[in-house]
Amino acid sequence: MQSRRRGRATALQALFGSLFAPLDQQPNTRQTLEHFIAIGHFTDPKANAFARDLIDGVLGHIEQIDRCIRSSSKNWRLERIAKVELTVLRLAVYEMLHQEDVPLKVAINEGIELSKTFGDPKSGPFINGILDGIAAKQSLSPKEASKNL
């Protein structure tokens, strides 16, 4: 599990950095990760493989992920959410929706832990509230959940 936690942190850093690039260059996030792996910055092969999966997954489902975040973040437009917290939310929501081997509670907890490590120490309740809202919708039947997301 430590490799997965490191993989999440690695993916967070790469995705966070991509937020400062023009939209047409954000797919280069994977190249940035590969560069840091090549120079020895990220050395855990399992963590790196998991980070690659997370990055590809988040970027491949970004519109759906952002819709979920918008639907559960009352009075908070995506543009108002701090970039670190937005990146944490995107990672956690991707895991909640698309990583069948990750229980909802684990995805939420890992999101909160990432926000404590990389974000504002007080952002945990904010992250928790949004992810709990999404988890509540996920516990509906698939047909009902798709209407609500």
DSSP 30-73: HHHHHHHHHTTS---HHHHHHHHHHHHHHHHTHHHHHHHHHHH-
pLDDT digits (tens, 9 = 90+) for 37-94: 777 777 888 998 999 999 999 999 999 999 999 999 888 889 899 999 999 999 999 9
Collapsed DSSP state (helix, strand, coil) of residue 121: coil
CA-to-CA distance for 68 and 70, rounded, in angstroms?
Answer: 5
Q: What percentage of residues in the chain have a pLDDT greater than 90?
A: 59
State the Cα–Cα distance between residues 43 and 143, nearest whole angstrom.
Answer: 42
Residues 6+ apart with CB under 8 A from 67: 149
Residue 126 has pLDDT above 70, yes or no: yes
Instruction: Report residue 40: phi and psi, to 5°.
Output: 90, 15
In angstroms, the CA 138 to CA 43 distance is 35
Residues 1-43 pLDDT 10s: 699 999 999 999 989 988 877 666 666 777 777 777 777 777 8
Give me the pLDDT at residue 121, please: 84
Q: Structure tokens of 104?
A: 């909802």
d(Cα 109, Cα 75) in Å, to the nearest integer? Answer: 23
User: Token pair 């491949």 is at which residue?
Assistant: 60
